[in-house]
Each structure stands twice: as structure tokens, then as C-alpha cells.
Homo-oligomer: A and B are copies of this chain.
Amino acid sequence: MTERVAGFTLDEIVSRFGGELIGDGRLRILQVATLENAGPAELAFLSNPKYRRQLKSSRAGAVVLSATDANGCPLPCIASDNPYAYYARVAQLLNPFPQTPSGIHPSAVVESKLDHNVSIGAGSFIGKDVTIGAGSDIGPGCSIGDGVTLGTQARLFSHVTIYPGCRIGTRTIIHSGAVIGADGFGFAREGDGSWTKVPQLGRVVIGDDVEIGANTTIDRGALDDTVIEDGVKLDNQIQIAHNVRIGTLTAMAGCVGIAGSARIGRRCTIGGAAMILGHLTIADDVNISAATLITKSISQPGTYSGAMPFEAHRDWLKNAAHMRHLDALAEKIRVLEARLAQLENET
């Protein structure tokens, strides 16, 4: 990690990531920070125009911003088409994942023969016939079931559970408490109302470059697999039911729920606590707003919403009461229209 201590000059940064440098390229950047808090060895970014006036007072060593904003910027700067993405790449460069030394902690229980270049944390359990790609890092207290395959450079934080037979791609990151491959919620109702469990025989198959948040759950398929395609990003406490398929590069905010067999397109964004009912198909490039319940398939790209507006409780009490009588209200209007037309005819 000597790179991190020494940082990078602006020249080195621009030679790696492009962009137009305005200012002295020998300036050495040690860390990233907000415009408001950055010091002289730190790089800040300006992406939201609302913070533009912070440029004047910022003590940042340099700023990444758009070509427009670079015009007249009082600080050394790098002009980029996409300042936030540029900033993210520099932040990654300056803050590489801390590399755990390879090796199996003596307190781990490992029932498979693993690649030498793998790190297994304290107290983790690795079942039989597990394959873990080189450079992968399994945190403390994980549980990896029999027959699981992990790609190279995957990173599991502590207390991740992967049920038997699931497949996880390369460079995938899974945060603590996530549960991959638990049984889908499948029960057949008997005549007496009791439920007979339907064995869940599919797997969870997760692509490359996926990130999965803390305490998110992804259930295994009933017969076919549950599939999370490459580059999907899932926040915390998301629930993905059995046989769902999520298209590549789709991102979901926290607390989203996707019911069984739903198919979500590519490059979708799903806002926090949105819910998608089962067996629906959502097209590519669909954006769903927070707290929206999707009850029908969506075939066109675009943004869809369905949350109820909030208001002061006393106003809500008055307004909400009418929601149960909208049909009657509409009927009153219909009657009014008819009576008025009658009257208009008469006069």
C-alpha cells in the first residue's frame, strides 16, 4: 500500500484517466474529499451545480469538474465529461481495498481443497466441492455450502451465507448478513388449508461485477435458477424471490422486494422500498420511483411512480377518507353532468 501513502500527482492521474488538466501537474494528491472539507493535498469534485459557489472558498488542492465549470475555476482542476465517475476512479486509485494476506485462518473449517491465493477469515465454514477463484477474500464467520463456485477476486464480508450449489461471479462483492440461495417461498395448499413444501431445486447464479448489500436475501429457484446478471448493484435489505431474473447493470436501492419469477430488464433503476409483484416483466431502461408497487408488466422504458403524497396528519385524515369513496364521487359528477345537460337543453 505504499502507493496510498505517496499518492499521485495530477499528471499521473490525468495520464491514467484522461481529462484536461488546468494547473500545475506536479501537485501530489493524497486523498479525495468534499469541496467543503478538502485540504491542499486532496482532490474534490463538482458535479451538482448547486455547489458551484463552494469553488471560491474551497481549500482543495484540485477539483474535477465539467469543462463549463472549469472556466474561471480559481483552483487547479481536471475537466471531464463525467466528473463524478472520474472522481470515483481517482477515489478507487487512492483507496484500494485493503488486501488481506492469502491463507486460511486456523479457526476456519474448510472441507474443500482451495486455491493457494485465497483468504478465508476466522471461523468461516467452507463445505465440500467448493471452488473459490484466486484473489478472493472471504471474511470472518461466513458459511459457504457444498458445491458453491466463486469467481476470482470476489470479496465476501463477514457473516455471508451461501447455500449449496450457487454460483457467484468474478469481482463480486457481498456485504455482511446477505443470504444467497435460501429456499424460495414455495408451498402447495392442501384441501385442509395446510401447506406442503415444494422442494426448491434451482440455484442462484450471480454474474461478474455484482455488488450485494448487507442483509439482502436472494432465494434459489424452485426448478430453474434465480439469475442476477453482470454488473447488477443491490443495496441493503433487498428481497429477491425465487426464479427472478435481473438484467445486467440494473441497480436497486434499499428495501426493494421482487416477487417470484419477475423478470427485470437491463439498466433499470428501482427506488427504495419499491415492490414488484410476481411473474411480471419489466422492460430495459425502466426507472421505478421509491415506494411504488408495480402490479402489471411494463413494456416501455421510462419512469413510473405510484406513491401516495404525505401531508399534515389532520389534512390527511380529511383527504384520505374520500379515497374510499372515489367511485361514488365520480358517479356524482356523472349525474351532475347529465342534470346540467338536461337543464341546458331546456333553457
Contacts and interface: CB of A to CB of B under 8 A. Distances in A.
A314 to B, nearest CB: 8
Interface in A184-211: 185-191, 193-199, 201, 209, 211
Nearest to A285: B193
Given A217-B237, A233-B195, A329-B322, A305 B294 contact: no
Nearest to A127: B140
Given A217-B237, A313-B304, A322-B329, A183 B175 contact: yes
Given A293-B308, A319-B325, A236 B219 contact: yes
A34 interface: yes
A92 to B, nearest CB: 6
Nearest to A139: B143
Interface string A224-260: 1000000101011101010000000101011101010
Given A88-B196, A89-B196, A191-B81, A340 B337 contact: no
A158 B317 CA distance: 43
A316 B305 contact: yes
Given A121-B125, A344-B343, A347-B347, A176 B143 contact: yes
A59 interface: no
A175 to B, nearest CB: 4
B290 A213 contact: no
Given A123-B125, A188-B87, A259 B275 contact: no
A223 B32 contact: yes
B109 A105 contact: yes
A324 interface: yes
A163 B214 CA distance: 11
Contacts of A89: 196
A339 interface: yes
A312 interface: yes
Q: Which 5 A-B pairs have the closest CB atoms?
A: A306-B310, A143-B158, A303-B313, A322-B326, A85-B188
27 contacts: A32-B201, A32-B223, A85-B188, A85-B190, A88-B196, A88-B199, A94-B199, A95-B201, A109-B122, A125-B158, A141-B143, A157-B161, A159-B161, A161-B177, A173-B183, A193-B249, A194-B209, A255-B275, A292-B310, A295-B309, A295-B310, A302-B313, A305-B316, A309-B320, A309-B323, A319-B325, A343-B344
